[in-house]
Amino acid sequence: MSSFEKRMRRLINPKNTATQKKRKSYGKSNVPPNLIKIQTLNEYKDMICKNKDRIVVVRFYATWCKACKAIAPSYYRLATTYKDALFVDVPVTPENANLHQGLGVPSLPFGHIYHPTGGLVEELKIAKKNFPKFARVLKYYLDGKCDVEEYEEIMSKVVDDGDEGAVESGKRP
């Protein structure tokens, strides 16, 4: 069977194709249970205060932002993988623009990681090219590691990626 015939058969009967991948869509019903969406500064403060016993991961994004849309599935996969952490979505709206400015969010998408004992420990760009680094850093905190070699490796990657502003006096993994 020629490739043209295969394409035509797929058009006619798309459910019976073995090559077609089924992607998980994260609509409102498929949002992981440990993911919440907040809209206001008060909700943000309450969320941080009420969750001092676990790691909180925050994603700042805009609904119109292509880069934000591109990392959304990866972010949701992280939330599905790490059920012990709380994942928070904070969309940019006219009502909460002060929240983003007050927290010093320089670009979108942007991420914060809050640790139970350390407070805000990470502020990272989480665009598609930076997302693997963000996932590694999150895993580091969730695993509770304190490995000097791993710390040096992560630090060298942070510096090599040109994110000098992300390095703060020994608080980074």
Q: Which residues are catalytic?
A: 65, 68
What's the Rg (C-alpha) of the chain? Answer: 19
Q: How far apart are CA 73 and CA 79, in angstroms?
A: 10
Q: How far apart are CA 141 and CA 149, in angstroms?
A: 15
Tokens read off for 133: 């680094």
Q: Which alpha helices (H) appear in the chain, and where do they start and end?
A: 3-12, 41-50, 66-81, 97-102, 131-143, 148-160
Q: How far is the CA of 124 from the CAs of 7, 27, 29, 61, in angstroms?
A: 43, 26, 28, 13
